[in-house]
Amino acid sequence: MPFIDDALIQKDIALPKLPIPSLELTLQNFKFATVAFLTDEEFETVSEACKELEGASGSAIQRCLLDRQEKQDNWAYDWWLEDMYLKNSLPLPIHSNPGMIFPRETFKTTEEFIRYVSCFVEEAYKFKIKIDRNLIPQDRASSRERNQPLCMLQYKRIFSSYRESGYSKDNLLEYEPNNNSHFIVAAKGQFFVVQYMTEKSTLSFEDLYIELAQIYKSSQQQQEKVGLLTAAERRHSATLFENLMKDKQNNDNVCTIRSAAFIICLDDNPGTDSESGRMAQMIHGGGVSKNSTNRWFNKTMQVLTIILLFIFVTVYVAVTVYAEHNL
């Protein structure tokens, strides 16, 4: 199956192109946006500059934009992606990556907890298969320009993209569906690969449960904190990964993580059950003494299962979804 098949292309062709406002309206909006935080003297300077731009130079820029709009489906997308995200050198946790917290779950045994995680994986792959086969219903605007079809390409990137740190800017990698038939399990800073799908079959629920249970049991000792490399300042992270991947085994392992559909993070008890504590775990993992080592911040989709506390035989778990934000 091609990465973008004809059905999806036809949907995108039907979408209107991103409009370009007139030069006059652009300058008017710019002045309106700046007046609140400029002094009268500074605003006067800005107004004079806008008047100058209304002349030949501004008209030339406007023609270049219109030419770009004619040639591309979305004239602003590449600029927006690079300036807002890929050229930003700040660390991904806190500064960029968002997430959401689900209601707290309660299980009577660890076995129930692992079965819950197995269900989560199964449902995630069912959704992935729908995306790969273009079976997701067409999204439409519900308010402004009501019922207008919306671009569906972002669905493709949920399970197939990866943000790679670079020296001048980061790079957005994308993989075809048959290259992300596996997922990664993070536990105590270790990263395990689970091959969920092959050309002929998928893991049964019981086999999936057994694999996850074995991973959970075998990961009870902390290892090297390699995941922290993804939390560094982005340009420094590029240097760290270049050195790491000079070793062939390291290179192969990182490539496996890059192409994975998603990461399941089996976190340790962070020592707090407060809402703010769960939010901190979601955003950054709580530091190296807690679960920050159990993350791979470059990956587009991570599902965090945080064991909050054991009371007798009851397991309390917070489940969150965490994403790399260029999506």
Q: What number is the average pLDDT over the span 289-306? A: 86
pLDDT category of residue 310 using cuts at 50, 70 and 90: very low
Give tens-digit pLDDT for 186-242.
Answer: 999 999 999 999 888 899 999 999 999 999 988 877 677 899 999 999 999 999 999
- In a shared domain, residues 62 and 185: no
| Range(s) of the domain holding residue 253 | 89-323
In this structure, the answer to whether residues 67 and 210 fall within a common structural domain is no
Mean of pLDDT values over 24-30: 95
Per-residue pLDDT reduced to its tens digit, 34-50: 999 999 999 999 999 99
Q: Are residues 161 and 97 in the same domain?
A: yes
> Can you tell me the mean pLDDT for 141-161?
88
Do residue 42 and residue 115 come from a single domain? no
In this predicted structure, what is the pLDDT of residue 9? 42
* 25 & 168 share domain: no
Residue 10 clears pLDDT 60, i.e. is over it = no
Note whether 122 and 253 are same-domain residues: yes
- Asked if residue 81 belongs to a domain, the reply is no
CATH number (domain holding residue 131): 3.30.559.70
Residue 77: inside a domain, yes or no?
no
Residue 323 CA to residue 308 CA, distance in Å, equals 21
Number of domains in the chain: 2
Stretch 147-160: mean pLDDT, rounded? Answer: 89
Note whether 58 and 158 are same-domain residues: no
Residue 115 maps to a domain: yes
Domain boundary pick from 38, 71, 104: 71
Q: Please check whether residues 111 and 252 belong to one and the same domain.
A: yes
Q: Does 50 lie in the same domain as 196?
A: no
- Does 49 share its domain with 190? no
Q: Taking all residues of the chain, what is their mean pLDDT, rounded to a whole number?
A: 87
- 12 in any annotated domain: no
